[in-house]
Structure 1
Amino acid sequence: MRADIRPTLDINVGDDGHPPDTYWNLVCSTGGVFQLGTPEETRAFLDTDEDGVLDAVDECLETPPDVPANAIGSPFGK
Structure 2
Amino acid sequence: MSELIPLNEVFAKALAVDVSLIHDSLQYQSIVQWDSVAHMQLIAAIEDSYDVMLDTDDIIEMSSVAKAREILANYGVTV
Which structure: greater helix fraction?
Answer: 2
Max radius of gyration: which structure?
Answer: 1
- Indicate the TM-score class for this superposition, using the shorter chain for normalisation: under 0.3
Normalising by structure 2, we get a TM-score of: 0.20
- Larger strand percent: 1
